[in-house]
Amino acid sequence: MIDLDKYISSDDETYNRFAQSLIIRYGDENEGRTSEFKKSVGILLPALHEAYFFIVENPNKWYAMIQKVQEVVQKNNFDATEVVFFIDQLLQVIKNEDALINLINYRNKYAPFLDDPEVQYNNSPFNIDILLYGLSRLSTNEQRLALIISVLEQYQSEFSQLNPELQRIIHQNNFLERCTAEGERIGTLIQVARSAGKVNKKVDEGSNPDNAEERTHGKGTEMRYERLRKTYAGHKDILKDHQKAIQATIEETGSSESTIERALGLKK
C-alpha cells in the first residue's frame, strides 16, 4: 500500500492542498475515476510530486524540466491522454511563468490547445457571451436584431459540421434558446418603439394650436379626452394589460389617473 500522506505533507502548502483535492476527486490509492486518467491516484500523486518539485527547484532549466516530465510519464507508462491530463494538473499548481510556457508547449505536442473544444468554444460565434458583448457594442436595436438573424443563419448552416464535443458544449450553454429569446426581446422593443412613435405623432397632430376647435372649452376637453383614449389604446395593444396601459398613459401625457378614466368612460 502506498502512503499517500507522504505526498500531501510537504513544506509547500499550496501543493499539499492541491494534492489533497485530487484524492477527494479521484479516490484512494487503488481507484481511478476519470476516463482521462485510468490509473490510480496512488500512481498519479507520486508522479506529480516528483515532477512538481523538480520544476520548482529548477525553474530556469527548461530542457531538464521537460526531460524530467518525459522520464516520469515513461516510467509510469502513461498513454497520450494520460500525459495531457498529467500536464494539465501540473499547469494548475505551477506558478512560475516560464515553466508554464514550457509545459504548455510540451502539452501542445500531444493535444494542441487550438484543437481543444473548450478553447474553440471561447472563440466561437455560437458562444452566447461573445454574442451578447457584440450586441452591447451596437447603437440601435435594428442593428442588434440584424446581427442575431445573421448569427442564427450561420448556426443553421454550420452547426452540423462542428465536432461533436463542441456541439455538446454549445448545447450545454443553451446558445440557440438564449439567442432566439434575445432576438424576440429586441424585436418586441422595436415594435414598442414604433407603436409609441405612431401614438405620439397622432397626439402631436391633435394638439395643433391652430386647431380652432380646441379654442372652445367644451370641444377642447373632448379633444383632450380623444388624445388620451388614443394614447391609452396604443399602450394597451402593446402591453395587453389595462393598469399598465393606464400607467404608461400617465407617464406619457402627464394626466392624472382620474382624468384618463373619465376619458375612457370609466369614471364620471
Q: What is the pLDDT of residues 126-157, one digit of tens each?
A: 988 889 989 998 889 999 999 999 999 999 99
Which of the two residues, 103 and 49, has the higher pLDDT score? 49
Q: In this predicted model, what pLDDT tens digit does every residue of 46-61 receive, in sequence order?
A: 999 999 999 989 888 8
Q: Which of 105, 116, 101, 107 is nearest to 78 (CA)?
A: 107
263 grid coordinates: 376619458
CA dihedral for 139, 145, 147, 151, sign (positive or negative): positive
**Distance separating alpha carbons of residues 140 and 80, to the nearest angstrom:** 50
- The confidence band for 217, taking pLDDT boundaries of 50, 70 and 90, is very low
Average pLDDT, the chain: 79
Which of the two residues, 123 and 77, has the higher pLDDT score? 77
Q: Which of 228, 239, 220, 233 is nearest to 203 (CA)?
A: 228
- Per-residue pLDDT, 178: 93
Which residues have a Cβ under 8 Å from the Cβ of 117 and sit 6 or more positions away? 163, 165, 166, 168, 169
| Residue 178 dihedral angles phi and psi, to the nearest 5° | -70, -35
Percent of the chain with pLDDT over 90: 19
Q: Are 176 and 155 in contact (CB under 8 A)?
A: yes
Q: In this predicted model, what pLDDT tens digit does every residue of 177-196 receive, in sequence order?
A: 999 999 999 989 888 888 87
- Per-residue pLDDT, 214: 40
**Distance separating alpha carbons of residues 179 and 159, to the nearest angstrom:** 14
Q: In this predicted model, what pLDDT tens digit does every residue of 161-173 receive, in sequence order?
A: 888 888 888 999 8
